[in-house]
A and B are shown apart, each in its own frame.
Chain A
Amino acid sequence: MSLDLEVRHSIGDFRLDARFAAERGLTALFGRSGSGKSTLVNIVAGLIRPQQGRVIVDDQTLVDTERGLFVPPHRRRLGYVFQDARLFPHLSVRQNLLYGRWFAKDGDGAAGDFSSVTELLGIGALLKRRPDSLSGGEKQRVAIGRALLARPRLVLMDEPLASLDEARRAEIMPYVERLRDEARVPILYVSHSVAEVARLATTVVILSDGRVTAIGPVLDILPLADAGDGGAVLDAVVDRHDEAFGLTVLHSAAGELQVPRLTAPAGSHVRAYIRARDVMLSLSRPSEISALNVLSGKIAHINSSGAQADIRLDCNGAVLMARVTDKSVQRLQLAPGRPVFAVIKSVSFERS
Chain B
Amino acid sequence: MTVEEWTAVRLSLLVAVTATAFSLPAGVAVAYLLARGRFWGKSLVDTLVHLPLILPPVVTGYLLLLLFGRHGPAGAFLERSLGIVLAFRWTGAALACAVMGFPLMVRAIRLSIEAVDERLESAAGTLGANPAWVFATITLPLCVPGVIAGAILCFAKSMGEFGATITFVSNIPGETQTLPTAIYTLTQVPGGDAGALRLTLVSVVISMAALLGSELLARRIGARRMAT
A residues touching B (Cβ–Cβ < 8 Å)?
45-47, 72-80, 82, 84, 86, 88-90, 99-100, 102-104, 129-130, 132-133, 146-147, 150
Contact (Cβ within 8 A) A73 B142: no
In the complex, A149→B220 CA distance in Å? 31
The contact sample of 7 A-B pairs, CB cut-off 8 A, is A46-B125, A74-B134, A77-B128, A78-B126, A88-B120, A133-B228, A147-B127
Contact partner of A103 (CB less than 8 A), chosen from B128, B141, B226, is B128
Contact (Cβ within 8 A) B129 A129: no
Contact (Cβ within 8 A) B123 A86: yes
Contact (Cβ within 8 A) B133 A103: yes
Contact (Cβ within 8 A) B126 A129: no
In the complex, A90→B141 CA distance in Å? 7
CB of B218 within 8 Å of the partner chain? no
Contact partner of A73 (CB less than 8 A), chosen from B117, B120, B125, B141, is B125
**Known: A130-B226, A133-B228. Contact between A80 and B123, CB under 8 A?**
yes
Contact (Cβ within 8 A) B129 A82: no
Contact (Cβ within 8 A) A130 B227: yes
In the complex, A104→B141 CA distance in Å? 22
In the complex, A47→B119 CA distance in Å? 10
CB of B124 within 8 Å of the partner chain? yes
Kindly list chain A residues whose C-beta atoms are within 8 Å of the C-beta of B126.
45-47, 73-74, 76, 78-80, 147
- Chain A nearest CB from B146 CB (Å) reads 14
Kindly list chain B residues whose C-beta atoms are within 8 Å of the C-beta of A100.
127-128
Residue interface bits B201-228, CB-to-A below 8 A is 1, else 0: 0000000000000000000000001111
- Chain A nearest CB from B118 CB (Å) reads 11
- Chain A nearest CB from B221 CB (Å) reads 9
> Which of B128, B141, B226, B228 has most chain A Cβ within 10 Å?
B128
User: Which partner residue on chain A sits nearest B126 by CB separation?
Assistant: A80
Known: A46-B126, A47-B122, A150-B128. 16 other contacts (CB 8 A): A72-B125, A73-B125, A73-B126, A74-B127, A74-B129, A78-B126, A79-B127, A82-B119, A84-B119, A86-B117, A90-B142, A103-B133, A130-B226, A132-B226, A146-B127, A150-B127
Kindly list chain B residues whose C-beta atoms are within 8 Å of the C-beta of A76.
126
Contact partner of A88 (CB less than 8 A), chosen from B131, B138, B226, is B138
User: Which partner residue on chain A sits nearest B125 by CB separation?
Assistant: A73
Interface size on B, residues (CB 8 A): 23
User: Which partner residue on chain B sits nearest A78 by CB separation?
Assistant: B126
- Chain B nearest CB from A39 CB (Å) reads 14
Kindly list chain A residues whose C-beta atoms are within 8 Å of the C-beta of B130.
72, 74
Kindly list chain B residues whose C-beta atoms are within 8 Å of the C-beta of A74.
125-131, 134
- Chain A nearest CB from B28 CB (Å) reads 17
| Top 7 A-B pairs, shortest CB-CB distance | A103-B128, A100-B127, A80-B126, A86-B123, A133-B228, A73-B125, A150-B127
- Chain A nearest CB from B182 CB (Å) reads 43
Kindly list chain B residues whose C-beta atoms are within 8 Å of the C-beta of A78.
126
Kindly list chain A residues whose C-beta atoms are within 8 Å of the C-beta of B127.
74, 79-80, 99-100, 103, 146-147, 150
Instruction: List residues of B (5-30) whose CB comes within 8 Å of A's CBs.
Output: none
- Chain B nearest CB from A158 CB (Å) reads 11
- Chain A nearest CB from B226 CB (Å) reads 7
Kindly list chain A residues whose C-beta atoms are within 8 Å of the C-beta of B227.
130
Kindly list chain B residues whose C-beta atoms are within 8 Å of the C-beta of A88.
120, 123-124, 138
Kindly list chain B residues whose C-beta atoms are within 8 Å of the C-beta of A46.
125-126
In the complex, A76→B129 CA distance in Å? 11
- Chain A nearest CB from B144 CB (Å) reads 9
Contact (Cβ within 8 A) A89 B142: yes
In the complex, A82→B123 CA distance in Å? 8
Contact (Cβ within 8 A) A129 B228: yes
Kindly list chain A residues whose C-beta atoms are within 8 Å of the C-beta of B125.
46-47, 72-74
User: Which partner residue on chain A sits nearest B133 by CB separation?
Assistant: A103
Kindly list chain A residues whose C-beta atoms are within 8 Å of the C-beta of B138.
88
Instruction: List residues of B (106-156) whose CB comes within 8 Å of A's CBs.
Output: 117, 119-120, 122-131, 133-134, 137-138, 141-142
User: Which partner residue on chain B sits nearest A129 by CB separation?
Assistant: B228
> Which of B122, B130, B138 has most chain A Cβ within 10 Å?
B122
In the complex, A103→B136 CA distance in Å? 14
Residue interface bits B84-120, CB-to-A below 8 A is 1, else 0: 0000000000000000000000000000000001011
